[in-house]
Structures are given as C-alpha cells and as structure tokens.
Amino acid sequence: HMLARRLTNEEGKTRVDFGHDVIPAMLEASDDVFAYTFEGYWVDVGTVDAYWETNLALLQPEPQLDLYTDKWPIHTRSEERPAVKLGPQGKLINSMVSNGCVIRGVVDNSVLSPGVYVSPGAVIKDSVVMNDVWIGPGAHLQKVVIDKQVMIGAGAVVGTGDESVPNEQLPDRLYAGITVVGKNAVIPDRTQIGRNVLINSNRDEADFPADGIVADGKTI
C-alpha cells in the first residue's frame, strides 16, 4: 500500500519518473526520505546519445557492465531463436550479436538484437540495431540507432554527412551525429540519409524525397 501511494498522485495517475515525480512528491509530503552513496553501475539512458553510448560501451575490453560475469546475471526471459549464423562473406569485428541473427555482410563495433539479417555486401558500423531488422545488399549504416522490424533497402546509406548539423525539429535531442530510424520503417533502395536525421515509425517509400536524398538534420 505504501509503495502504491508513492507511485501515484492524488488523482490516482501513475508517477513515471523518480527524479521528476516520485522523489519530489515524497519530499513535499514530508515522507521520511533517506539517501545513501551508491557505488555500483548506474547510467541514465534518457537521451538518444546516452542510449547509443551505453550500448557501445558494452563492447569495450573491460566494460563497467560486464554481461559475461556471474556478478550480473541476466534475468530477462530470452526468445528461443537459433544460434548466430555467419555466412561465407560475413565478418564480425568487436561486436555483440544476438541469437537468430544471420550475418552475410560486415558488422563492426555494433550491437545487434535478435533476428537481424545482414545481406552480403552490407556494412554496419558503430550502430545499435534492434529486433528483426532486415538490411539489404550493399547497404551502409554508420552511427545509427534502428528500432524493430525496419527494412533497409539495397544500396541505401544511412548515417553519412556532417555531424555538426543538429536535427531541425529536435536540436536538443539529435545533435551528436546519430541518426534514428523508427519501428517498421522501410528505407527505399539507394536512399542517402544524413546525420542527426529522424525517420519516424511506419515510414515507407512514398514518404521519402523523389531524389532519395535526406539531408543532415531532417525529419521524415
């Protein structure tokens, strides 16, 4: 009952953020609030930049969060998928690749979630790719965060251009050169997508410019 009271406001709505909602409300209500020094692993991944950096930090030789020690047991229920399959042209460099992935291109310094398919000739570098993304032949991705079930067309280039140009609509969120592709988006063949670009969810060929070029900082 006490926990439920502290996680909801007077109207019964859920408080969703500890730093912004829960703790200030506890202090205002004169609840007994105590603090202690926490010396373990903790990262706030509330921004795209932080999310990207935290994922790629797992690839360091001695990461702060080492998933391969018994000190950090993984309790999340994994999907039952086949083992990673590396094709004759496939190459993995300093990357973390999950079950169900089929790698027939090059994956370099990247984190791939379950079920990602990388076609021959494709190159993925410095990127975070979520579940069941299909990456077409000859596609090039660099410094990209891709949501689930996205299709990247053949020969498409995602993440190329000037990192210093922030996103026009979200300059305070997309400014570090990272391009974001939303869930279920379909990137047409041979599309050229710049830096700090946001491709929203469910976008398809009709949403892209006729010349196939999405400049730095644009939103589709």
pLDDT at 78: 75
Q: In what order do the strands lie in the sheet with 157-158?
A: 91-93, 106-108, 123-125, 140-142, 157-158, 192-193, 213-214
Q: Which amino acid is at 50?
A: A
pLDDT at 187: 98
pLDDT at 45: 86
pLDDT at 197: 97
Tell me the three state secondary structure of residue 198. Answer: strand
- Check if the beta carbon of residue 158 is closer than 8 Å to that of residue 179: yes
Q: Which amino acid is at 139?
A: A
pLDDT at 22: 81
- Check if the beta carbon of residue 89 is closer than 8 Å to that of residue 104: yes
- Check if the beta carbon of residue 109 is closer than 8 Å to that of residue 95: yes
Q: Which amino acid is at 83?
A: A
Q: For each successive 10 residues of the chain (220 residues), what is the average pLDDT?
A: 71 73 79 81 88 96 89 80 95 96 98 97 98 98 98 98 94 95 98 98 96 97
- Check if the beta carbon of residue 116 is closer than 8 Å to that of residue 147: no
Q: 110: which strand partners?
A: none
pLDDT at 11: 66
Q: In what order do the strands lie in the sheet with 85-86?
A: 85-86, 102-103, 117-118, 134-135, 151-152, 186-187
* Range 27-31, long-range pairs (CB < 8 A, 24+ positions): 31/6
pLDDT at 219: 97
The C-alpha angle with vertex 106 and arms to 56 and 220, in degrees rounded to 5, equals: 70
* Closest to 89 measured CA to CA, from 102, 79, 99, 80: 102
Give pTM, 2 decimals.
0.87
* Closest to 2 measured CA to CA, from 35, 29, 24: 29
pLDDT at 15: 73
The C-alpha angle with vertex 149 and arms to 60 and 204, in degrees rounded to 5, equals: 120
